[in-house]
Structure 1
């Protein structure tokens, strides 16, 4: 009888746990999402804890201890090490009731975030294209050290012929050995060694520089020089003639 009473009391004091607990991450900004479980009281609040696998301890997330259902919990400052493994959990509570915890999947910032598109500037440089690439703004202290590779897709507008390049990340790149005076379209994507969830840049098109103009014939240059020398000689001779008068 006593055990039955305790079980009934525990059932009364337990409210539905949150559902659909997940972490959405873009450019290393990590936001926790969840929904109240069906039948959750309208006055319920929600608390969040985070686990860093390296320490093995669950800790309350500041500013996420008394959340309303529509509020979002920013975990960017909690999940600071991009290579570490983390997890989050949420529970609902009222003044006299508490739900069970609902845990998220395991989360590694660098491999689970989505990298946004880089900023691309494009110009012709003879038989090449000059690319200037700026990385997306990542919510981390060392953004450039995380960008391991740059992938460039080049397509010739005239016939659709294309080729791809892969190289270490640099802010300025030359794509060489192109035809002069031809339009090419380019997109670039940034990747890390742990992450393929990347968004390509805006597609930009530019012409390589036009063909070089034909060089001036040597005979024409010689003729111009002879004309200058002739005029100079005539002027000098005239000056000597009039100075003798």
Structure 2
């Protein structure tokens, strides 16, 4: 077998391994991972190296991904630091004596192609309103993203009673007013960036609006009047009894 490989190298300069397949960039919250599958018939011991390219630059090797064995993946988060540029990555299989042709990914722009995970959502009832607080999804690159964009969210509010719903755009926190008291509402939220269509909705957060606050003034006045009337009646009975004893 070794003799055949040496003859192949002498005749052709090199022999080609099966090229990697399904080369794809998976990105969540601006953390990017290149994934691939070994080409059909790849021999045991095959290794892989990764390079990337962006416009007006040459192919650059990814230092941490020059001798990958398994699994077939490479973290490109640090290489794709400019979230507005377009990149492409490629991967090549090799052994001591052979190498494959390069297999490329599709072009990738971090800001528009990353998947934005569901934000952190807190909802509480407040009379005929809901108090909503939203934070961006966690991720080591999300602070870099927020340096360019203010956090904005699309919020959908659904009445569990009659199925009516409405949508509004919010930032950070918001009091949603003019709702029905003592009614259950379910809220789902996702991040909003105009050029990114890959935001994921949060799970529904369902809470009841509170009962309206009771006005205590009429209650206090009513109790005062009741006590006054009872006092008058007691003093009236006592006075009437005193009159009867005096006769």
TM-score range normalised by the length of the shorter chain: 0.7 to 0.9
Distance 1:139 1:219, change over 3 A: closer
For 1:80-120, what per-residue CA distance to the aligned partner results, in whole angstroms no more than 9, with x for missing partners? 11111111001111111111111111000111111111111
Could you say which residue in structure 2 is the equivalent of 1:149? 152
Could you say which residue in structure 2 is the equivalent of 1:50? 52
Could you say which residue in structure 2 is the equivalent of 1:159? 162
Could you say which residue in structure 2 is the equivalent of 1:181? 182
Give the superposition deviation at 1:127: 1.7
- Equivalent positions of 1:1-245 (< 5 A) are 9-10=11-12, 13-53=15-55, 55-140=56-141, 141-144=143-146, 145-146=148-149, 149-167=152-170, 170-217=171-218, 220=222, 223=225
Alignment TM-score, normalising by the size of structure 1: 0.81
Q: Which moved more, 1:104-113 or 1:176-185?
A: 176-185
Equivalents in 1 of 2:9, 2:188: separation in Å?
A: 62
Equivalents in 1 of 2:195, 2:12: separation in Å?
A: 45
Give the superposition deviation at 1:46: 0.5
Structure 2 unmatched ranges of 5 or more: 1-6, 230-247
Equivalents in 1 of 2:18, 2:9: separation in Å?
A: 16
Runs of 4+ residues deviating >6 angstroms: 5-8, 224-227
Equivalents in 1 of 2:63, 2:162: separation in Å?
A: 57
Could you say which residue in structure 1 is the equivalent of 2:240? none
Give the superposition deviation at 1:226: 8.3
Equivalents in 2 of 1:36, 1:171: separation in Å?
A: 45
Distance 1:219 1:210, change over 3 A: closer
Equivalent residues, number: 220
Equivalents in 2 of 1:220, 1:31: separation in Å?
A: 70
- For the residue of structure 1 that corresponds to 2:63, the secondary structure is coil
Structure 1 unmatched ranges of 5 or more: 228-245
- For the residue of structure 1 that corresponds to 2:64, the secondary structure is coil
